[in-house]
Structure 1
Amino acid sequence: MSKPNPFRYFRTSRKIIRLAVMMYVRFPLSLRNVEDLLHERGIDVSHESVRFWWMRFGPLFASEIRKARAQRMRCYSNWQWHLDEVFVKINGETHYMWRAVDHEGEVLDAFVTKRRDRKAALKFLRKLMKRYGQPDRIVTDKLRSYGAAMKEIGNADRCQRRSKIRPLWRSKSRPVWGERLGACGPHIASPVQGALAVRPIL
């Protein structure tokens, strides 16, 4: 069964919508700047239309970009994952957020559980590998749950432990388009990206 076309009720073509959204998220432009640039190219749209397209189709374009990037990265032999976990409080209860970042600093996924044991680590790793495949190396901290989970999967030889914990999430060097695409719409890529609360710039 084919998926319904998300652009079927829009008079504007998909190419123009994608151009407007990617201009807004890829470059440091405001919504009115995008409106002016499109007007110079003979495309008459309102900045409110650009905002609506960003909210509606931003997660769709972000998903396409992530899938294409994952396919490219599988071809490289130096693709590494860095895994760690942090404590978070949800409704006053302590939970654990498992995080995965590749060697370029791009966030792959985040997963929240109540326990930090082998079962939770195994579920997180299987979820990652089902989506992205097998990496060349997995760098973890000294948590023993990773080693037990990787022995069960059968890739314990790819595990490498780091002696010093370093932050895995980019802050200053993270591009603006990644924040805008990750924070728009209801489909948030990760809890951390959702907490960025990036607002549209008029």
Structure 2
Amino acid sequence: MKGFRHWKWHLDEMYVKIGGEMHYLWRAVDQEGEVLESYVTKTRDKVAALAFIKKALKRHGNAGTINTDGLRSYGAAMDELGNREKQEIGRWANNRVENSHLPFRRRERAMARFRQMKTLQKFASVHASLHNHFASERHLLDRQTYKLHRSAALAEWQSLAA
């Protein structure tokens, strides 16, 4: 994955309440909608944004462009990393990552919320990898190919779970 320099990343943060206290789940999504990185913090400032972006860059290499919302913490973190020219800020440019929050929120409601920050971090990373594994872009595939991909994913999952 480190070889794809032309990739477009979408970064966003979402709030999650744990015991009545706000925590922030930072997420990075690529141009295809796959979750690259999830990171939980108690704050939504430059330090948290910098730690998240460094973690994503270390694991996945550099991106061609990075779409963010208007949060100024992203700009400050990008300045410190020297990636400010790669950052794009647009009103609807970050819809890819905003829509990727929806399956997470559905699952969170079904679980009746979280009780610890550590549990949230574990769940976010596991949920992302499972969602990436099983969620293929149905609208781009014909039925036969979709069923083939789905059965291959299920067979791989069953071999891992056994």
TM over 0.5: yes
Listed as ranges, the gaps of 5+ residues in structure 2 are 104-121, 135-156
Corresponding position: 1:95 with 2:23: yes
* Rg larger for: 1
Matches for 1:4-19 after TM superposition, within 5 Å: none
**1:110 — aligned with what?**
38
Question: CA–CA distance in 2 between the matches of 1:119 and 1:136?
Answer: 23
* Paired residues for 1:73-84 under 5 Å: 74-75=3-4, 77-84=5-12
Structure 1 residues 141-183: Cα deviation after superposition (integer angstroms, max 9, x where no partner): 00000000000000100000021352241879xxxxxxxxxxx
TM-score for both structures, normalised by structure 1: 0.49
Q: Counterpart of 2:77 in 1: which secondary structure?
A: helix
Letter in 1 for 2:43: R
Q: Per-residue deviation at 1:132?
A: 0.8
Contact 1:188 1:194 in 2 (8 A): no
Residue 129 (structure 1) aligns with: 57
Q: 1:148 to 1:109 in 2, by over 3 A?
A: same
Whichever structure has more helix as a proportion of its residues is 2
Number of equivalences: 113
Task: State the identity %.
Answer: 46
User: RMSD in angstroms over aligned alpha carbons?
Assistant: 3.0
Question: Which residue in 1 is equivalent to 2:125?
Answer: 190
Instruction: Give the alignment's TM-score, normalised by structure 2.
Output: 0.60
CA distance in 1, matches of 2:22, 2:101: 24
Structure 1: stretches of 5+ with no match in the other structure: 1-69, 173-186
Q: How does 1:47-58 map to 2 (within 5 A)?
A: none
Which among 61, 72, 78 is matched to residue 144 of structure 1? 72
